[in-house]
Amino acid sequence: MKPLIVLGTAVMLSPISFAQDSIFPIWGEQAAQRGHTLPKPYGLSLSYMDISNPITIDNINLTGGIGDVIDIDATKAEFEGSNVTLRGDVWLLPFLNVYGILGYTQAQSTAKIDSISLAGLPIPVDGAKFTLDMDGITYGIGTTVAGGINNWFALLDINYTYTDIDAIDGSIKTFVAAPRVGHRWQYDGGRELRVFVGAMYQDVQQHLSGDIKALGLDLGDMNFLIDDTRFEVSQRTEQKWNALAGFQYSINRDWDVLAEAGFGQRKSAFVSLGRRF
């Protein structure tokens, strides 16, 4: 994760410049002639997000070893994670932005085991849990559609990301759609404050597999039972919608900071530093 932060900081602080006669955004000149103030066409931002969310376990399947005669039942888990991402974007049209994401995710889900049975015979599992560590590279694409009347604005952000897990076989696929509405205040020198509220729809699908010992499962004196046994787990977000509130402050036309918090069953905190060219 540190190399990504260093790369992002170096790129954002470097004296990069683009030609002022960029073709983007298309129809930008016409929009400016009508009195609209447009952002510079290209952007880079470095962001950090922290999230916690209950998830539903759809399936636990065991194979190899004694996987054919042992059953583990768990239905709920708690997901906690964070990621650092570098995002590059361009305004293709005055109302349409497209972007790409590259980052690193560190996450963990912890599930309480409801029951374990061996050949139909129950095994005591008081307080037993299993943990999945899900660290890996995240990449994705997205788009933002924006519009407004006077100082009121609305936007819809949609993105899809894929995280390739390092320690175990598996991936996290995430689809996000987030509508927001808000108000802006403009000041001298290109400074601008935007305050907004909204909601986020997040559909997360996790498909993971590996040696069952990677789950951190502890059966005490009976641990030998799970030698050479592998697992497959499918799980997903339990609550897909949550509320959002945040602000974006443009220090000038080149730099801005954004902070956002999510509320509800899914809780999140997001902060970003961006530069436009």
Q: Is residue 203 part of a domain?
A: yes
Q: Is residue 25 part of a domain?
A: no
Name the nearest CA neighbour of 163 among 132, 135, 141.
135
86-117 burial, b at 16+ Cβ within 10 Å, e below that, comes to bbebbbbebbebebebbbbbebebebebeebe
Cα dist from 128 to 45, 68, 79, 112, whole Å: 42, 21, 17, 6
Average pLDDT over residues 99-128: 86
The parent domain of residue 161 ranges over: 52-276
Q: Is residue 29 part of a domain?
A: no
Find the CATH number of the domain harbouring 234.
2.40.128
Which residues, in sequence order, are bridge partners of residue 85? 47, 103
Q: What is the pLDDT of residues 136-155, one digit of tens each?
A: 999 999 999 999 998 999 99
Lowest mean pLDDT: which of 8-12, 105-109, 112-116, 201-205? 8-12
Q: Is residue 3 part of a domain?
A: no
Lowest mean pLDDT: which of 114-123, 160-169, 170-179, 215-224? 215-224
- The per-residue pLDDT for 10 is 46
For strand 70-73 and strand 115-118, is the pairing parallel, antiparallel, or unpaired?
A: antiparallel
Average pLDDT over residues 58-82: 86
Higher-pLDDT residue of 20 and 93 is: 93
Average pLDDT over residues 95-121: 90
Q: What is the pLDDT of residues 223-257, one digit of tens each?
A: 676 777 888 899 999 889 999 999 999 999 899 99
Positions of E strands within the chain:
42-63, 70-73, 76-93, 96-112, 115-118, 121-123, 129-133, 136-149, 152-165, 169-186, 192-211, 230-237, 241-250, 255-263, 267-276
Q: Mean pLDDT highest for which of 56-70, 83-97, 167-181?
A: 83-97
- The label of the residue with tokens 């918090």 reads 261
Check pLDDT > 90 for residue 105. yes
Q: Is residue 208 part of a domain?
A: yes
Mean pLDDT of the chain, nearest integer: 87
Instruction: Give φ, ψ of 204 to 5 degrees.
Output: -115, 125
Q: Is residue 38 part of a domain?
A: no
- The per-residue pLDDT for 211 is 83
Q: What is the pLDDT of residues 2-57, one digit of tens each?
A: 555 554 554 455 455 444 567 888 977 777 777 667 789 999 999 999 999 999 99
Which band of pLDDT confidence, cut at 50, 70 and 90, is reported for residue 217?
low
- The per-residue pLDDT for 47 is 98
Total domains, the chain: 1
Separation of alpha carbons 156 and 261, rounded Å: 17
Q: Is residue 172 part of a domain?
A: yes
- The per-residue pLDDT for 101 is 98
